[in-house]
Amino acid sequence: MPQTDLTSDTPAQNSSAAAIAPRPRKVPRIVVLGGGSVGLYSARRLRKRLGRRDAAIVVVDPRPYMTYAPFLPEVAAGSITDRDVVAPHRRALKHVDTLQGKVTKITHRERKIEITPEEGDPYEITYDHLVVGLGSVARTLPIPGLAEQAIGFKNVEEAVAVRNQILNRINLASSTWDPDLRKRMLTFTFVGGGFAGIEALAETEDMARAAVKNLPGVDQSDLRFVMIEGSDRILPELTLEMANYALSEMKKRGIEFHLSTFLSSCVDGHVVTSTGVEFDSDTIVWTAGVKANPVLATSDLPLDRMGRLQVLPTLQVADDDGNVVADAWGAGDCAAVPDLYNPGAFCPPNAQHAIREAKVLADNLYATLTGGKLEEYSHKNLGTVASLGLHKGVAILFGKIKLRGFPAWVMHRMYHVAAMPTASRKIRITTNWVGTWLLRREVVSLGSIHDPRAEFRAASAPAAKPKDAPAAANAEAKADK
Ligand SMILES: Cc1cc2nc3c(=O)[nH]c(=O)nc-3n(C[C@H](O)[C@H](O)[C@H](O)COP(=O)(O)OP(=O)(O)OC[C@H]3O[C@@H](n4cnc5c(N)ncnc54)[C@H](O)[C@@H]3O)c2cc1C
């Protein structure tokens, strides 16, 4: 396995660069796994506090950008363009080295990670300090048909695909006369009624209704949006009163809820629920929770029984007895961060915590390097805001202020645009919103974007020869004479 040395702070671009012989390091190297909320914010803060002569900072991520996931439902609804909800690492992480590739193994006792780039051979790099911000992945179940039929809603690619799928199905249905096929095309199923699922459902339903407004051939009543949720309520992050408000508002819009219900099967798009309801649906979006990134299981770092990295309130990795594992730090969705405001509980996996944890983590790592004092992460939830479509929302601020409808929606936008990294992204998103407000949102489907070579393939295929081609050619030749 080739080992690369980044003493010069120059990222290895390929496996030949990776074969450079190791040299003694001049400055300590901090390797940050994952360039999402935790990775981007902690690397930026570390770089601000540590000059290039103090430490080398390397961020490893298969994507060259950080995605601000709370805006994904708005991307799916077309209120924000996909490019504007991502912060490119090269612009947001000045003087930080970035390596594009997946971390596939972590061997902390040797201070070594393995990176697998999209192309080329895996290689290893070593480090002095490790920051783990690998986030989470969709928590799926072995449900027949799920892997083949469903799509997740965790990243920008999926949000764009869900948008195109919904608009594409609507357009196809408008030119389809088979009633069963139309029903299937116009039935959109979401599984999992937490924050991501409810926002994704509410935003795309709102967009679908706007899309059929001027579309002959599809009526509002033809659209069927279905939510399947295992527990007896939605939005567990909100109080029951506010969650019930959201539920009743969405029901008024015609959205169908199956609570205390599980998805049993969806083979070939035929949905069967645990309560015996059956229907066909071309679109199944899986938003039923997340689990810590499974790559952690390849590491020798201590994990809890849910596969999360065990950390102390200082965000230092610690073993079962609370002993600090030297030089290892973790935060965000992939870590079990004790919630000091709720003793015995852990911080929920959300951006509100991840971004704040990143700052404390960076400050504590800096303090470790400079002999300073470590602080504990504690953050009292500021509130919860959710968008339920254009101009609709629900919010609780500071535990007691309850907002419904338009004011909640405004609060949702204000809160998240403030949390979006980089000034340029904030401006771009605000401009998107002003554009949508002035010109109405764009509901065009770019259905073929997911198979852009299809038309070229068809055009390049050798033309089929008609059976009677020789006879026709002879006849033509005779006629010419
Ligand atoms: C649709 C949706 C809506 C949400 N809405 C809200 C909301 O309204 N409010 C809120 O507070 N939170 C919300 N969240 C949750 C929030 O986005 C996450 O909790 C937060 O992003 C977690 O930050 P993180 O740094 O732990 O993980 P992430 O931001 O997900 O970053 C993880 C990074 O690790 C990278 N990575 C993955 N595997 C590897 C690997 N093998 N090697 C290297 N890198 C890897 C990923 O590419 C990614 O860049 C939402 C999430 C979703 C999906």
User: What residue ranges do the domains of the chain occupy?
Assistant: 3-62+101-138+291-370, 146-288+383-439
Q: Round the average pLDDT of the chain to a whole number and report it.
A: 90
Using 50, 70 and 90 to split pLDDT, how confident is the model at 1?
low
18-60 residue pLDDT tens: 444 455 678 999 999 999 999 999 999 999 999 999 999 999 9
Query: What CATH number labels 146-288+383-439?
Result: 3.50.50.100
Q: At 340, which amino acid appears? A: L
Atom of ligand 1 nearest to the CA of 332: 26
Under CATH, to which class is 3-62+101-138+291-370 assigned? Answer: alpha beta
Query: What distance in Å separates the CA atoms of residue 305 and residue 383, rounded to the nearest whole number?
Result: 29
pLDDT tens for each residue of 394-442: 999 888 899 999 999 999 999 999 989 889 999 999 998 998 888 888 7
- Average confidence (pLDDT) over 470-481: 52
Closest CA to 281 of 412, 183, 355, 206: 183
Report CA(38)–ligand 1 centroid distance (Å): 8
Task: Answer yes or no: is the C-beta of 411 below 6 A from any ligand 1 atom.
Answer: no
- The CA 181 to ligand 1 mean position distance, Å, reads 36
Check residue 448 and give its pLDDT.
62
> From the CA of 177, how far away is ligand 1's center (Å)?
42
Show Cβ contacts of residue 72 under 8 Å, excluding neighbours closer than 6 positions. 85, 153, 154, 155, 156, 158, 159, 196, 200
Q: What is the pTM of this model?
A: 0.89
335 lines ligand 1 (CB under 6 A): no
Whether the domain at 3-62+101-138+291-370 and the domain at 146-288+383-439 fall into the same CATH topology: yes
DSSP annotation of 347 reads -
| Reported confidence tier of residue 381, pLDDT bands at 50, 70, 90 | confident
Strand order of the β-sheet with 401-404 is: 383-387, 393-397, 401-404
pLDDT in tens, 201-243: 999 999 999 999 988 889 999 999 999 999 999 999 899 999 9
